[in-house]
């Protein structure tokens, strides 16, 4: 396992759900964090000497560049990126307008791409750069009528593998974390009860494990089930 030392990790969507659980876990383990969210007031209890809170909006193309610049100004390095910020809405092939598909595409695919593009040179310099893309099992299979969400998540999966390829020689390791239903407000109204869902704190432990693995023990995809389903 890699020593944490003073490694700096960026976490998008850190104000709630999975992102907040990841931020709390990594802080407890000794990482320095740069936390991105649209609502900075929700990060007030996490920000401090070892955690910087920065306004970040996945829908704003300039937001990624500004956040990376602020992180470098504060810490001088970037060793990890957790692309967690995401959107979920129903977008069906026959009944939904293009705008619904575009929203999902911009948040779930283009948002992580922009952050990756800005952070990658600094992750290369780290030598042990890590990217964890919170993708979803919907990036590996399609269930139900919602086409827009899995389309965007399949793209996020492709981004994970493409980044893994281009960063490998410089020690950048990329993991696509693919959970089923997670007990967050985004999953309210699902057919699975919150008690049956994956808990955000458990995903946070998986993220911490992936970050700490050495370069010669990389996990490309990490599917996480909360109920049985065939995996292909």
Catalytic positions: 149
- Angstrom distance (rounded) from CA 135 to CA 156: 6
- CB contact at 8 A, 197 and 182: yes
Among 217, 124, 115, 122, CA closest to 175: 217
- Angstrom distance (rounded) from CA 46 to CA 92: 38
Q: Which residues contact 135 (CB under 8 A, 6 or more apart)?
A: 153, 156, 157, 160, 176, 177, 178
- Angstrom distance (rounded) from CA 71 to CA 53: 9
- Angstrom distance (rounded) from CA 145 to CA 148: 9
Residue with structure tokens 């299979």?
A: 141
Residues pairing with 32 in the sheet: 8
Pinpoint the alpha helices (H) of 30-147. Answer: 61-75, 98-105, 111-126
């Amino acid at each position: 396992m890699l020593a944490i030392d003073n490694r700096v990790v960026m976490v998008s969507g850190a104000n709630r759900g999975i992102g907040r659980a990841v931020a709390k876990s990594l802080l407890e383990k000794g990482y320095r964090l740069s936390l991105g969210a649209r609502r900075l007031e929700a990060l007030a209890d996490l920000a401090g000497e070892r955690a910087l809170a920065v306004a970040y909006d996945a829908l704003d193309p300039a937001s990624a560049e500004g956040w990376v610049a602020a992180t470098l100004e504060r810490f001088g390095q970037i060793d990890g990126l957790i692309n967690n910020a995401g959107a979920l809405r129903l977008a069906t092939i026959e009944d939904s307008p293009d705008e619904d598909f575009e929203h999902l595409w911009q948040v779930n695919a283009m948002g992580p791409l922009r952050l990756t593009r800005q952070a990658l040179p600094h992750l290369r310099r780290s030598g042990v750069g890590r990217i964890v893309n919170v993708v979803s099992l919907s990036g590996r299979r399609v269930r139900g009528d919602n086409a827009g969400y899995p389309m965007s998540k399949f793209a996020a999966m492709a981004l994970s593998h493409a980044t893994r390829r281009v960063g490998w020689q410089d020690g950048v390791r990329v993991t696509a974390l693919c959970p089923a239903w997670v007990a967050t407000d985004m999953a309210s109204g699902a057919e699975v009860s919150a008690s049956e869902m994956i808990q955000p704190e458990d995903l946070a432990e998986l993220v911490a494990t992936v970050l700490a693995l050495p370069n010669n023990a990389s996990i490309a995809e990490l599917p996480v089930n909360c109920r049985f389903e065939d995996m292909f």
